[in-house]
A and B are shown apart, each in its own frame.
Chain A
Amino acid sequence: MTGPRADERDIMLAAQRGSREAFELLVRAHQQRAYAVARAIVGTHEDAEDAVQDAFLHAYRALDRFRPEQPFGAWLHRIVANAALDVGRRRKVRDADSLPESVTMPFRDPAESDELRRRLSEGLAGLSDRQRAVIVMHDVEGFTHAEIGDMIGMPEGTARSDLHHARVALRRVLGDLRSER
């Protein structure tokens, strides 16, 4: 894993010295990736936003514990993953009486067929939270198995195995659709 770029390191050091402007630069540089990590773990866009806000707040409070020689992104993504897991747990407690039957899909593409959306939703609902997070982080966001393991707190081999099982399950539900076309 490579260290931070020189300019980002300077920005991080300024943020550690208390510059709110410097921290805002870090927020702007990392929020999209942070959102992607959160979105892979939680069920909805709103929960992902909450997790990202909580995570940046937590990172700001913990800046003095950050070692500038490590990449800020990797450190932040662990915080985001933890925040997203917390939001997910809180959501589950709140929704205990009315668990949704399928995974919520906030960004609807009008060109996407209803049938594909339905099948994908069904397939995702059949995955464990961890399997869903792993396949989204890997296939959509391009994180490596090691990075995913580091973020979620599990061995790289487990991330690999979760990814395999998630792909098999989704291929099965989407495969039926292909054969019908």
Chain B
Amino acid sequence: MNDDRRIGADGSDDEVTRALRRVYAAPRGRDAGYWNELAARIMSHIALEEDQWWQPFRGWVQGGLMAAAVTALVVGLALGRARRSEAQLAYRTIIETPRTLSLQLATETTGLPGREATLRYVTAP
């Protein structure tokens, strides 16, 4: 058979079109159950999404509470550590502070005449 006889004026090919329809055609009206089910699925999808529009905000609330708890914990730890270092610093200051000049002068009398040592003690700030 001549193929040209199958080809329409618009270039369509009956056999190609028929074959394609067998593959691609959607389930038609004969399968009403299929379409009812698909419509129901689409609508339940929409209902689910609509009913849950606030879900992301609930996530935000949960996230906010979690962040607040973590912040409180971090701040508490930082405060505790700051207090401990403050106390340590105070102890260290007392322990490690070098003797003052007056105390040195008052005690370092070795090699100085007694009179000069007394004078330095008196004039020391």
State whether A53 touches B45 (Cβ < 8 A): yes
Interface assignment of B21: CB less than 8 Å from any CB of chain A: yes
A178 proximity list for chain B (CB < 8 A) = 1, 3, 15
Interface-side segment among A27-35, A64-72, A81-89 = A27-35
Q: How far is the CB of B24 from chain A (nearest CB, A)?
A: 5
Query: How many angstroms from the CA of A35 to the CA of B111 in the assembled complex?
Result: 111
**Chain A interface helix/strand/loop/mixed:** helix
State whether A171 touches B13 (Cβ < 8 A): yes
A124 (CB) vs chain B CBs: closest residue: B23
B15 proximity list for chain A (CB < 8 A) = 174, 178
A57-B46, A105-B23, A116-B19 are contacts. A31–B38 as well, Cβ < 8 Å?
Answer: yes
Q: How far is the CB of A54 from chain B (nearest CB, A)?
A: 9
In A40-71, the 8 Å CB interface with B consists of: 40, 49, 52-53, 56-57, 60
Query: How many angstroms from the CA of A35 to the CA of B15 in the assembled complex?
Result: 23
A27-B43, A53-B42 are contacts. A140–B25 as well, Cβ < 8 Å?
Answer: yes
State whether B12 touches A167 (Cβ < 8 A): yes
B19 proximity list for chain A (CB < 8 A) = 112, 116, 120, 170, 174
For chain A, which range describes its interface: under 10, 10 to 19, 20 to 34, or 35 or more residues?
35 or more
A107 proximity list for chain B (CB < 8 A) = 22-23, 25, 27
State whether B20 touches A136 (Cβ < 8 A): yes
State whether A140 touches B20 (Cβ < 8 A): yes
A20-B43, A20-B47, A27-B42 are contacts. A139–B17 as well, Cβ < 8 Å?
Answer: yes
Query: How many angstroms from the CA of A175 to the CA of B45 in the assembled complex?
Result: 45
- A129-164 vs B, Cβ < 8 Å mask (1 yes, 0 no): 000000110011000000000000000000000011
Can you list 18 A-B pairs with a CB-CB distance of less than 8 A? A20-B43, A20-B46, A20-B50, A23-B43, A24-B43, A28-B39, A31-B35, A35-B38, A40-B24, A53-B42, A105-B23, A107-B23, A117-B23, A120-B23, A139-B16, A139-B17, A174-B15, A178-B1
- On A, residues with C-beta under 8 Å from B are 20, 23-24, 27-28, 31-32, 35-36, 39-40, 49, 52-53, 56-57, 60, 105, 107, 109, 112, 116-117, 120, 124, 135-136, 139-140, 163-164, 167, 170-171, 174-175, 178
Interface pairs A-B: 5 shortest CB-CB: A139-B17, A35-B26, A56-B42, A170-B16, A136-B24
